[in-house]
Protein backbone atom coordinates (compact mmCIF):
# COMPACT_ATOMS: atom_id res chain seq x y z
CA UNK A 1 0.00 0.00 0.00
CA UNK A 2 2.86 2.40 0.69
CA UNK A 3 4.06 2.10 -2.90
CA UNK A 4 0.67 3.16 -4.23
CA UNK A 5 0.85 6.45 -2.36
CA UNK A 6 4.53 7.05 -3.11
CA UNK A 7 3.62 8.66 -6.45
CA UNK A 8 1.22 11.15 -4.91
CA UNK A 9 2.20 14.80 -4.79
CA UNK A 10 2.77 16.37 -1.37
CA UNK A 11 -0.33 18.62 -1.53
CA UNK A 12 -2.47 15.59 -2.41
CA UNK A 13 -1.08 13.62 0.55
CA UNK A 14 -1.75 16.55 2.91
CA UNK A 15 -5.29 16.86 1.58
CA UNK A 16 -5.86 13.13 2.04
CA UNK A 17 -4.67 13.31 5.65
CA UNK A 18 -6.95 16.27 6.37
CA UNK A 19 -9.96 14.51 4.84
CA UNK A 20 -9.25 11.38 6.86
CA UNK A 21 -8.90 13.34 10.11
CA UNK A 22 -12.11 15.25 9.45
CA UNK A 23 -13.99 12.05 8.62
CA UNK A 24 -12.69 10.34 11.75
CA UNK A 25 -13.52 13.30 13.98
CA UNK A 26 -17.07 13.49 12.63
CA UNK A 27 -17.60 9.74 12.83
CA UNK A 28 -18.36 9.66 9.13
CA UNK A 29 -15.49 7.49 7.95
CA UNK A 30 -17.82 4.88 6.53
CA UNK A 31 -20.35 7.41 5.27
CA UNK A 32 -18.29 9.25 2.66
CA UNK A 33 -20.36 9.84 -0.43
CA UNK A 34 -19.34 9.11 -4.01
CA UNK A 35 -19.34 12.86 -4.62
CA UNK A 36 -16.67 13.54 -1.98
CA UNK A 37 -13.10 14.41 -2.98
CA UNK A 38 -11.63 11.48 -4.88
CA UNK A 39 -7.88 11.01 -4.52
CA UNK A 40 -7.66 8.34 -7.22
CA UNK A 41 -9.47 10.58 -9.70
CA UNK A 42 -7.07 13.39 -8.84
CA UNK A 43 -4.08 11.16 -9.57
CA UNK A 44 -5.53 9.93 -12.87
CA UNK A 45 -6.13 13.55 -13.89
CA UNK A 46 -2.56 14.43 -12.95
CA UNK A 47 -1.14 11.58 -15.04
CA UNK A 48 -3.20 12.46 -18.11
CA UNK A 49 -4.53 16.02 -18.28
CA UNK A 50 -1.89 17.82 -16.26
CA UNK A 51 0.89 15.91 -18.01
CA UNK A 52 -0.50 16.95 -21.38
CA UNK A 53 -0.68 20.59 -20.29
CA UNK A 54 2.73 20.69 -18.58
CA UNK A 55 4.93 18.44 -20.70
CA UNK A 56 2.83 18.32 -23.88
CA UNK A 57 2.95 14.53 -23.81
CA UNK A 58 -0.23 12.74 -24.85
CA UNK A 59 -0.49 9.46 -22.97
CA UNK A 60 -3.48 7.70 -24.56
CA UNK A 61 -3.55 4.84 -22.00
CA UNK A 62 -3.65 7.42 -19.16
CA UNK A 63 -6.62 9.19 -20.76
CA UNK A 64 -8.34 5.85 -21.35
CA UNK A 65 -7.78 4.91 -17.69
CA UNK A 66 -9.27 8.26 -16.65
CA UNK A 67 -12.28 7.71 -18.92
CA UNK A 68 -12.77 4.17 -17.62
CA UNK A 69 -12.62 5.42 -14.03
CA UNK A 70 -15.13 8.20 -14.73
CA UNK A 71 -17.48 5.72 -16.40
CA UNK A 72 -17.41 3.62 -13.23
CA UNK A 73 -17.85 6.77 -11.16
CA UNK A 74 -20.99 7.62 -13.15
CA UNK A 75 -22.56 4.43 -11.78
CA UNK A 76 -21.71 5.45 -8.20
CA UNK A 77 -23.11 8.99 -8.50
CA UNK A 78 -26.16 8.13 -10.59
CA UNK A 79 -28.57 8.34 -7.67
CA UNK A 80 -27.04 11.44 -6.09
CA UNK A 81 -28.66 14.84 -6.51
CA UNK A 82 -25.34 16.67 -6.36
CA UNK A 83 -22.28 15.91 -8.48
CA UNK A 84 -18.84 16.84 -7.22
CA UNK A 85 -17.19 19.82 -8.86
CA UNK A 86 -14.06 17.67 -9.02
CA UNK A 87 -15.80 15.21 -11.35
CA UNK A 88 -17.23 17.97 -13.53
CA UNK A 89 -13.90 19.78 -13.69
CA UNK A 90 -12.08 16.60 -14.62
CA UNK A 91 -14.49 15.85 -17.47
CA UNK A 92 -14.28 19.38 -18.84
CA UNK A 93 -10.50 19.67 -18.49
CA UNK A 94 -9.89 16.31 -20.15
CA UNK A 95 -11.99 17.29 -23.14
CA UNK A 96 -10.54 20.80 -23.33
CA UNK A 97 -6.93 19.66 -22.98
CA UNK A 98 -7.19 17.20 -25.86
CA UNK A 99 -8.99 19.65 -28.12
CA UNK A 100 -6.62 22.54 -27.43
CA UNK A 101 -3.43 20.51 -27.88
CA UNK A 102 -4.71 18.70 -30.99
CA UNK A 103 -4.34 21.92 -32.97
CA UNK A 104 -0.55 21.71 -32.96
CA UNK A 105 0.41 18.24 -31.68
CA UNK A 106 -0.28 15.57 -34.32
CA UNK A 107 -0.25 12.67 -31.83
CA UNK A 108 -3.07 14.35 -29.90
CA UNK A 109 -5.31 14.53 -32.99
CA UNK A 110 -5.70 10.77 -32.76
CA UNK A 111 -7.17 11.31 -29.29
CA UNK A 112 -10.05 13.53 -30.45
CA UNK A 113 -12.56 10.65 -30.24
CA UNK A 114 -11.60 10.28 -26.57
CA UNK A 115 -12.38 13.99 -26.05
CA UNK A 116 -15.85 13.37 -27.46
CA UNK A 117 -16.29 10.49 -25.01
CA UNK A 118 -15.60 12.83 -22.08
CA UNK A 119 -18.24 15.23 -23.42
CA UNK A 120 -20.73 12.39 -23.89
CA UNK A 121 -20.09 11.15 -20.35
CA UNK A 122 -20.70 14.65 -18.97
CA UNK A 123 -24.07 14.74 -20.74
CA UNK A 124 -25.02 11.34 -19.34
CA UNK A 125 -24.10 12.35 -15.79
CA UNK A 126 -26.07 15.60 -16.15
CA UNK A 127 -29.09 13.53 -17.21
CA UNK A 128 -28.80 11.47 -14.01
CA UNK A 129 -27.78 8.33 -15.82
CA UNK A 130 -24.80 6.01 -15.72
CA UNK A 131 -22.61 5.04 -18.65
CA UNK A 132 -23.80 1.44 -18.51
CA UNK A 133 -27.45 2.54 -18.84
CA UNK A 134 -27.02 3.29 -22.52
CA UNK A 135 -26.49 0.56 -25.07
CA UNK A 136 -25.38 1.51 -28.59
CA UNK A 137 -27.97 0.67 -31.24
CA UNK A 138 -30.77 0.11 -28.72
CA UNK A 139 -33.48 2.77 -28.58
CA UNK A 140 -34.23 4.25 -25.17
CA UNK A 141 -37.72 4.01 -23.76
CA UNK A 142 -38.58 7.01 -21.64
22 closest CA partner among 120, 14, 84: 14
- pLDDT digit string (tens) for 17-45? 777 777 666 655 555 565 578 899 999 99
pLDDT tens per residue, range 41-81: 999 999 999 999 999 999 999 999 999 999 999 998 888 88
pTM of this prediction?
Answer: 0.73
Integer Cα distance of 20 and 43 in angstroms: 17
- Our CA angle for 97, 119, 7, nearest 5°, is 50
Q: Where are the domains of the chain?
A: 1-32, 33-133
Amino acid sequence: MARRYADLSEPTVRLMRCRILIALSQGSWNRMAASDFDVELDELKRKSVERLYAAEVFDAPAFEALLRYLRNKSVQIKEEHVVSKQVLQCLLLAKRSIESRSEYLPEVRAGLPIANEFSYLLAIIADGEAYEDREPGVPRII
